[in-house]
Amino acid sequence: MKTQKPRRYGMVIDLDRCTGCGACMTACAAENNVAPGHAKATPRTGLTPMLVQRVSNGGAGADRREVFIPVTCMHCEHETPCVTVCPQQAVELDKATGIVNQMPQRCLGCRYCMTACAYHARYFNWWDPEWPVGMERTLNPGVAVRMRGVVEKCNFCHGRLHEAEDKAAAAGKAEIDPADYRPACVEACATQAIVFGDLNDPASDVRKASRHEDSFRLLARLGTEPKVYYRSKQEWVRGLAERGQQEVRRG
């Protein structure tokens, strides 16, 4: 199979459609073999590669407005902070896909990448994964289970990408069918709030959505060029984009 043209996978999340149901979080955990939370886990020590946060406009009574914001790895493209600080080269920006990959077999657990991430979208494995009896038979065979002592994050369901590439190769095709590669969170969203695809493809829905006047990126001023976009017709929601992540969490 011929080498594919460089792709820039990304997503656009419509916050006006998101209901905060959490289906994306559940689907992410199931697809990527994230074990049930440890009994001693806290909001700071849990593992949630896709985390839906609820924020408000700070108003009271009839003036109060709330929105749910799914936060995941932004797959930053320019001077990616986590890549820059990793002493083990355990983080890599794949130039062929635009995906920021995490390689647990190289990670030494220093957590520099967690400190560098402006979005708090990286998580440290404090415990070895454990599943209720019988649940281990439901694990995804296409995704390796990670051990304690390493950092992990969203990787746009790279196992699904590999499956799509294998399918294309078997058919002798140079390009994968976009329909064959959709992250679990995209499939699970009941309101179709998440659009995913190749930002380099002018004809793709994700490219068109990312360029809509209501689209924005969190902390764009940092210049890291995140490939996860958000959309909202509400001005106060778009105003959250440049607020610090900790401030957004307290909202």
* pLDDT (0 to 100) of residue 128: 94
**pLDDT for position 244:** 54
72, 154 contact by CB (below 8 A):
yes
The alpha-carbon radius of gyration of the chain (Å, integer) is 18
Report the C-alpha gap between 29 and 143 in whole angstroms.
11
Ranges in the chain, pLDDT < 70 = 1-4, 244-251
**Distance in angstroms between the alpha carbons of the first and the last residue of the chain:** 50
* Residue 230 · residue 74 · CB < 8 Å: no
The verdict on pTM exceeding 0.85 is: yes
In our burial notation (b when 16+ CB lie closer than 10 A, e otherwise), range 176-190 reads bebeebbbbbbebbe
- Tell me which DSSP letter residue 243 carries: S
Compute how many other C-beta atoms are within 10 angstroms of the C-beta atom of residue 44. 9
Residue 137 CB coordination number (10 Å): 7
- β-strands 100-102, 91-93: how paired? antiparallel
Picking from 212, 231, 218, 185, the residue whose alpha carbon sits closest to that of residue 12 is 231
CA distance 59 to 78: 36
CA–CA dist 161, 154 (Å, integer) = 13
Cross-strand bridge partners of residue 215: 231
**9-250: which CATH number, 3.60.15.10, 3.30.70.20, 3.40.50.300, 3.40.1710.10?**
3.30.70.20
Q: Is 76 exposed, middle or buried (0-12, 13-18, 19+ CB in 10 A)?
A: buried
Rounded Cα gap, residues 116 and 89, in angstroms: 15
DSSP per position, 16-85: TT-----HHHHHHHHHTTPPPPPTT--TTTS--SSEEEEEE-S--GGG--EEEEEE------SS-HHHHH
For 139, 147, 195, 232, the CA distances from 11, given in Å and listed in that order, are 26, 28, 5, 14
Q: β-strand 123-124 against 151-152: which pairing, if any?
A: antiparallel
Which amino acid does the sequence have at 144? Answer: A
